[in-house]
Amino acid sequence: MAEFKVVVSDGAQSWQVVVDGHHANSLIGKKIGDEVDGIFVSLPGYTLQITGGTDKDGFIMRKDVPGITRKKILTARSPGFKPKDRGVRKRITVCGNTISLNIARINMKVVKKGAKPIGELLKAAGKLEENESA
């Protein structure tokens, strides 16, 4: 059974939600940039966009790497590598842009807001974790 930690951000605040069961299974196969209904993350009325994530070993997902496997890419600058000098490149390992069972965390942003605030909906569903960040 799939289980993901989903970080939902609306720009000013972010919430971490654990998604499991059939809602988590419906996220498998989605790609970075896809828009999903908020009902999968206990946010009815919201529309969310997948912006990234990490796998179970901490490797980041990249939008330009297709598939679900890990690949080594040569990069000059990326979220996984920030050189101090100009022209420095490095080969780093990244994950593909498709959500699979190996993904542990998914980052999402709010595209369309619903009628109720996110915090209120998550408290009502019992999905709100203790480490809410501001």
User: Into how many domains does the chain fold?
Assistant: 1
Q: Which residues are bridge partners to 54 per DSSP?
A: 60, 105
Question: Is 50 part of any domain?
Answer: yes
Nearest of 66, 48, 65 to residue 4 by alpha carbon = 48
**Cβ atoms of 74 and 54 closer than 8 Å:** no
The DSSP letter of residue 96 is -
Q: Is residue 120 part of a domain?
A: yes
Q: Could you tell me if residue 72 is inside a domain?
A: no
Task: Please give the sequence-ordered ranges of beta strands (E in DSSP) within 14-116, or none if there are none.
Answer: 14-20, 35-37, 47-55, 70-75, 90-95, 103-112
Residue 27 lies in a domain: yes
| Residue 68 falls inside a structural domain | no
In this prediction, residue 134 carries a pLDDT of: 46
Task: Name beta bridge partners: 35.
Answer: 49
- Domain contains 93: no
Q: Is 67 part of a structural domain of the chain?
A: no
In a domain, 108, yes or no: yes
The list of the chain residues with pLDDT below 50 reads 130-131, 134
pTM across the whole model: 0.86
- Other CB atoms within a 10 A radius of the CB of residue 41 amount to 28
- pLDDT score, position 117: 87
Q: Give the residue numbers spanning the domain of 107.
A: 3-62+99-125
Q: Which residues of 108-131 are buried (b: 16+ CB within 10 A; e: fewer)?
A: bebeeeeeeebeebbeeeebbeee
